[in-house]
Protein backbone atom coordinates (compact mmCIF):
# COMPACT_ATOMS: atom_id res chain seq x y z
CA UNK A 1 0.00 0.00 0.00
CA UNK A 2 2.83 2.36 0.92
CA UNK A 3 4.64 1.63 -2.30
CA UNK A 4 1.50 2.22 -4.35
CA UNK A 5 0.85 5.53 -2.62
CA UNK A 6 4.44 6.71 -3.07
CA UNK A 7 4.37 5.59 -6.70
CA UNK A 8 1.16 7.54 -7.29
CA UNK A 9 2.65 10.70 -5.84
CA UNK A 10 5.83 10.25 -7.87
CA UNK A 11 3.83 9.78 -11.06
CA UNK A 12 1.83 12.92 -10.31
CA UNK A 13 5.04 14.84 -9.76
CA UNK A 14 6.61 13.48 -12.95
CA UNK A 15 3.47 14.29 -14.94
CA UNK A 16 3.49 17.85 -13.63
CA UNK A 17 7.16 18.26 -14.51
CA UNK A 18 6.57 16.88 -18.02
CA UNK A 19 3.64 19.19 -18.64
CA UNK A 20 5.71 22.17 -17.56
CA UNK A 21 8.57 21.07 -19.79
CA UNK A 22 6.22 21.06 -22.80
CA UNK A 23 5.35 24.68 -22.12
CA UNK A 24 8.95 25.87 -22.51
CA UNK A 25 9.41 28.01 -25.66
CA UNK A 26 12.66 28.87 -27.40
CA UNK A 27 13.23 32.62 -27.30
CA UNK A 28 14.74 32.99 -30.80
CA UNK A 29 15.70 36.36 -32.32
CA UNK A 30 12.70 38.17 -33.71
CA UNK A 31 10.26 36.33 -31.48
CA UNK A 32 8.45 38.14 -28.70
CA UNK A 33 9.77 37.37 -25.27
CA UNK A 34 7.84 34.74 -23.39
CA UNK A 35 5.73 36.10 -20.54
CA UNK A 36 7.32 35.81 -17.16
CA UNK A 37 6.34 32.68 -15.26
CA UNK A 38 4.12 33.31 -12.24
CA UNK A 39 5.88 33.32 -8.92
CA UNK A 40 6.21 29.86 -7.40
CA UNK A 41 4.03 29.37 -4.36
CA UNK A 42 5.96 28.73 -1.17
CA UNK A 43 4.64 26.35 1.47
CA UNK A 44 5.97 25.44 4.88
CA UNK A 45 6.78 21.85 5.79
CA UNK A 46 3.82 21.91 8.18
CA UNK A 47 1.45 22.85 5.34
CA UNK A 48 2.84 20.13 3.09
CA UNK A 49 2.48 17.47 5.81
CA UNK A 50 -1.08 18.61 6.48
CA UNK A 51 -1.87 18.34 2.77
CA UNK A 52 -0.31 14.87 2.68
CA UNK A 53 -2.57 13.82 5.55
CA UNK A 54 -5.59 15.16 3.67
CA UNK A 55 -4.50 13.22 0.59
CA UNK A 56 -4.25 9.96 2.55
CA UNK A 57 -7.65 10.56 4.17
CA UNK A 58 -9.31 11.13 0.81
CA UNK A 59 -7.63 8.11 -0.77
CA UNK A 60 -8.93 5.72 1.88
CA UNK A 61 -12.44 7.25 1.94
CA UNK A 62 -12.59 8.60 5.48
CA UNK A 63 -15.49 10.89 4.58
CA UNK A 64 -17.61 8.01 3.31
CA UNK A 65 -16.82 5.84 6.35
CA UNK A 66 -18.10 8.64 8.63
CA UNK A 67 -15.68 8.19 11.52
CA UNK A 68 -16.64 10.08 14.65
CA UNK A 69 -14.25 12.58 16.21
CA UNK A 70 -13.24 9.96 18.79
CA UNK A 71 -12.66 7.37 16.07
CA UNK A 72 -10.49 9.79 14.10
CA UNK A 73 -8.36 10.34 17.21
CA UNK A 74 -7.89 6.56 17.55
CA UNK A 75 -7.05 6.37 13.86
CA UNK A 76 -4.36 9.03 14.31
CA UNK A 77 -3.06 7.13 17.32
CA UNK A 78 -2.60 4.04 15.15
CA UNK A 79 -0.86 6.10 12.45
CA UNK A 80 1.46 7.57 15.07
CA UNK A 81 2.39 4.06 16.24
CA UNK A 82 3.17 3.02 12.66
CA UNK A 83 5.16 6.21 11.99
CA UNK A 84 7.25 5.53 15.11
CA UNK A 85 8.08 2.05 13.81
CA UNK A 86 6.20 0.29 16.60
CA UNK A 87 4.55 -3.09 16.16
CA UNK A 88 0.80 -3.46 15.77
CA UNK A 89 -0.91 -2.83 19.15
CA UNK A 90 -2.87 -6.09 18.66
CA UNK A 91 -2.15 -9.46 17.09
CA UNK A 92 -3.06 -9.09 13.44
CA UNK A 93 -4.16 -12.70 12.96
CA UNK A 94 -6.57 -12.47 15.87
CA UNK A 95 -7.95 -8.99 15.23
CA UNK A 96 -8.21 -9.41 11.45
CA UNK A 97 -11.71 -11.00 11.29
CA UNK A 98 -13.14 -8.43 13.72
CA UNK A 99 -11.50 -5.64 11.67
CA UNK A 100 -13.11 -6.97 8.47
CA UNK A 101 -16.52 -7.10 10.14
CA UNK A 102 -16.16 -3.57 11.54
CA UNK A 103 -15.15 -2.08 8.18
CA UNK A 104 -17.93 -3.99 6.40
CA UNK A 105 -20.49 -2.46 8.78
CA UNK A 106 -19.06 1.00 8.07
CA UNK A 107 -19.26 0.42 4.35
CA UNK A 108 -22.79 -1.01 4.50
CA UNK A 109 -23.98 1.98 6.53
CA UNK A 110 -22.53 4.35 3.94
CA UNK A 111 -24.10 2.44 1.03
CA UNK A 112 -27.50 2.32 2.75
CA UNK A 113 -27.41 6.08 3.33
CA UNK A 114 -26.31 6.68 -0.26
CA UNK A 115 -29.07 4.42 -1.61
CA UNK A 116 -31.74 6.29 0.35
CA UNK A 117 -30.40 9.62 -0.91
CA UNK A 118 -30.27 8.44 -4.51
CA UNK A 119 -33.78 6.95 -4.36
CA UNK A 120 -35.19 10.32 -3.29
CA UNK A 121 -33.26 12.15 -6.01
CA UNK A 122 -34.29 9.62 -8.67
CA UNK A 123 -37.96 9.94 -7.73
CA UNK A 124 -37.79 13.74 -7.96
CA UNK A 125 -35.90 13.53 -11.25
CA UNK A 126 -38.41 11.27 -13.01
CA UNK A 127 -41.33 13.24 -11.60
CA UNK A 128 -39.85 16.35 -13.20
CA UNK A 129 -39.42 14.53 -16.53
CA UNK A 130 -43.18 14.02 -16.76
CA UNK A 131 -43.52 17.76 -17.43
CA UNK A 132 -41.71 17.32 -20.76
CA UNK A 133 -44.26 15.96 -23.26
CA UNK A 134 -41.49 15.06 -25.73
CA UNK A 135 -40.19 12.38 -23.34
CA UNK A 136 -41.67 8.90 -23.69
CA UNK A 137 -42.01 6.71 -20.59
CA UNK A 138 -41.87 2.93 -21.11
CA UNK A 139 -43.34 0.26 -18.78
CA UNK A 140 -39.81 -0.86 -17.84
CA UNK A 141 -39.09 2.54 -16.31
CA UNK A 142 -36.89 3.71 -19.19
CA UNK A 143 -37.58 7.22 -20.48
CA UNK A 144 -36.34 8.52 -23.82
CA UNK A 145 -36.55 11.47 -26.17
CA UNK A 146 -35.75 11.47 -29.88
CA UNK A 147 -33.69 14.64 -30.33
CA UNK A 148 -33.00 14.06 -34.04
CA UNK A 149 -34.98 11.73 -36.28
CA UNK A 150 -32.91 9.27 -38.29
CA UNK A 151 -33.72 8.14 -41.82
CA UNK A 152 -32.21 4.65 -41.66
CA UNK A 153 -33.19 1.35 -40.14
CA UNK A 154 -33.78 0.71 -36.45
CA UNK A 155 -31.33 -1.72 -34.85
CA UNK A 156 -32.32 -5.09 -33.43
CA UNK A 157 -31.15 -6.46 -30.09
CA UNK A 158 -29.11 -9.07 -31.96
CA UNK A 159 -27.12 -6.45 -33.88
CA UNK A 160 -24.07 -4.30 -33.13
CA UNK A 161 -24.33 -0.52 -33.14
CA UNK A 162 -21.66 2.08 -33.83
CA UNK A 163 -22.41 5.19 -31.79
CA UNK A 164 -21.15 8.42 -30.36
CA UNK A 165 -22.41 8.96 -26.83
CA UNK A 166 -21.98 10.92 -23.62
CA UNK A 167 -23.11 9.50 -20.28
CA UNK A 168 -23.83 11.71 -17.28
CA UNK A 169 -25.28 11.47 -13.81
CA UNK A 170 -28.46 13.44 -13.14
CA UNK A 171 -26.37 16.30 -11.74
CA UNK A 172 -24.60 16.63 -15.10
CA UNK A 173 -21.34 14.94 -14.11
CA UNK A 174 -19.84 13.17 -17.14
CA UNK A 175 -18.69 9.62 -16.35
CA UNK A 176 -18.02 8.40 -19.90
CA UNK A 177 -17.96 9.90 -23.38
CA UNK A 178 -16.87 8.63 -26.77
CA UNK A 179 -17.27 12.23 -27.95
CA UNK A 180 -14.56 13.40 -25.55
CA UNK A 181 -12.33 10.52 -26.63
CA UNK A 182 -12.89 11.51 -30.26
CA UNK A 183 -13.65 7.97 -31.39
CA UNK A 184 -17.03 6.25 -31.86
CA UNK A 185 -17.74 3.05 -29.93
CA UNK A 186 -19.29 -0.23 -31.00
CA UNK A 187 -21.51 -2.39 -28.80
CA UNK A 188 -23.50 -5.59 -29.40
CA UNK A 189 -26.93 -4.52 -28.16
CA UNK A 190 -27.47 -7.74 -26.25
CA UNK A 191 -24.30 -7.21 -24.22
CA UNK A 192 -24.95 -3.77 -22.70
CA UNK A 193 -27.08 -2.51 -19.83
CA UNK A 194 -30.83 -3.22 -20.30
CA UNK A 195 -31.59 0.49 -20.67
CA UNK A 196 -29.39 0.61 -23.76
CA UNK A 197 -30.66 -2.65 -25.23
CA UNK A 198 -34.23 -1.37 -25.04
CA UNK A 199 -33.60 2.30 -25.74
CA UNK A 200 -31.33 2.17 -28.78
CA UNK A 201 -33.96 0.06 -30.59
CA UNK A 202 -36.27 3.09 -30.38
CA UNK A 203 -34.12 5.14 -32.77
CA UNK A 204 -33.05 4.96 -36.42
CA UNK A 205 -29.66 5.11 -38.05
CA UNK A 206 -28.52 8.72 -38.39
CA UNK A 207 -30.67 9.86 -35.50
CA UNK A 208 -30.02 11.00 -31.95
CA UNK A 209 -31.71 9.98 -28.72
CA UNK A 210 -31.56 10.94 -25.07
CA UNK A 211 -31.95 8.03 -22.68
CA UNK A 212 -32.96 8.41 -19.03
CA UNK A 213 -32.00 5.07 -17.47
CA UNK A 214 -33.16 4.25 -13.91
CA UNK A 215 -30.75 2.21 -11.76
CA UNK A 216 -32.63 -1.07 -12.21
CA UNK A 217 -31.90 -0.82 -15.96
CA UNK A 218 -28.31 0.29 -15.41
CA UNK A 219 -25.96 -0.91 -12.64
CA UNK A 220 -28.44 -1.10 -9.77
CA UNK A 221 -26.89 -0.88 -6.32
CA UNK A 222 -23.48 -2.07 -7.51
CA UNK A 223 -22.19 1.12 -9.10
CA UNK A 224 -19.09 1.49 -11.24
CA UNK A 225 -16.05 3.82 -11.27
CA UNK A 226 -17.54 7.30 -11.46
CA UNK A 227 -21.07 5.93 -11.00
CA UNK A 228 -22.34 5.76 -7.39
CA UNK A 229 -24.63 2.85 -6.41
CA UNK A 230 -28.30 3.43 -7.24
CA UNK A 231 -27.61 6.07 -9.89
CA UNK A 232 -29.93 7.11 -12.70
CA UNK A 233 -27.90 7.56 -15.88
CA UNK A 234 -28.52 9.97 -18.76
CA UNK A 235 -27.12 9.24 -22.22
CA UNK A 236 -27.00 11.38 -25.35
CA UNK A 237 -26.52 8.91 -28.21
CA UNK A 238 -26.01 9.32 -31.95
CA UNK A 239 -26.52 6.15 -33.99
CA UNK A 240 -23.87 6.13 -36.72
CA UNK A 241 -24.17 2.61 -38.08
CA UNK A 242 -25.73 -0.82 -37.57
CA UNK A 243 -23.82 -4.03 -38.14
CA UNK A 244 -24.47 -7.74 -37.81
CA UNK A 245 -22.97 -9.05 -34.59
CA UNK A 246 -20.04 -11.33 -35.33
CA UNK A 247 -20.76 -14.95 -34.49
CA UNK A 248 -18.75 -16.44 -31.65
CA UNK A 249 -16.01 -18.76 -32.93
CA UNK A 250 -16.99 -22.42 -32.94
CA UNK A 251 -15.17 -24.59 -30.41
CA UNK A 252 -12.27 -26.51 -31.85
CA UNK A 253 -13.00 -30.15 -32.65
CA UNK A 254 -10.88 -32.64 -30.74
CA UNK A 255 -8.22 -34.27 -32.88
CA UNK A 256 -7.90 -38.00 -33.23
CA UNK A 257 -4.98 -39.58 -31.54
Tell me the DSSP string of the chain. -HHHHHHHHHHHHHHHHHHHHHT-----TTSPPPPPPPPPP---HHHHHHHHHHHHHHHTTHHHHT--HHHHHHHHHHHHHHHTTPPPSS-HHHHHHHHHHHHHHHHHHHHHHHHHHHHHHHHHHHHHHTT-TTPEEPTTS-EEEEEE--SSPPPPTTEEEEEEEEEEETTS-EEEEHHHHTS-EEEEGGGS-HHHHHHGGGS-TT-EEEEEE-GGGTTTTT-BTTB-TT--EEEEEEEEEEEEPPPPPPPPPPPP-
Choosing from 55, 110, 126, 175, the catalytic residue is 175
Does the annotation mark 193 as catalytic? yes
The pLDDT value given to residue 253 = 52
What is the model's pTM? 0.68
Q: Indicate if 165 belongs to the active site.
A: yes
Of 144, 219, 227, 242, which is the active-site residue? 219
Going residue by residue through the chain (257 aa), what tens digit of pLDDT does each one get?
Answer: 433 443 344 433 334 333 343 333 333 345 455 566 678 888 999 999 999 989 988 888 888 888 889 988 999 999 999 989 999 999 989 999 999 999 999 988 988 888 889 999 999 999 999 999 999 999 999 999 999 999 999 999 999 999 999 999 999 999 999 999 999 999 999 999 999 999 999 999 999 999 999 999 999 988 788 998 899 999 999 999 999 887 655 555 555 44
Catalytically annotated residue among 135, 146, 170, 193? 193
Q: What is the pLDDT of residue 33?
A: 58
219 is catalytic: yes
**The predicted structure's pLDDT at residue 38:** 76
Q: What is the structure's pLDDT at 12?
A: 39
Domains of the chain: 136-244 (3.10.50.40)
Amino acid sequence: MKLKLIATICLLALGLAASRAQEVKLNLPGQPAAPAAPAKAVYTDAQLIEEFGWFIGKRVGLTELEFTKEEVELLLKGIAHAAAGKDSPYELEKIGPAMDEFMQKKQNAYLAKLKTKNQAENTAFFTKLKENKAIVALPSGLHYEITKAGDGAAPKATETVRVHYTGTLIDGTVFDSSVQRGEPAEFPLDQVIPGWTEGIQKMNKGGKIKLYVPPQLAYGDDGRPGIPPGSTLVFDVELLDIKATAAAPAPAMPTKK
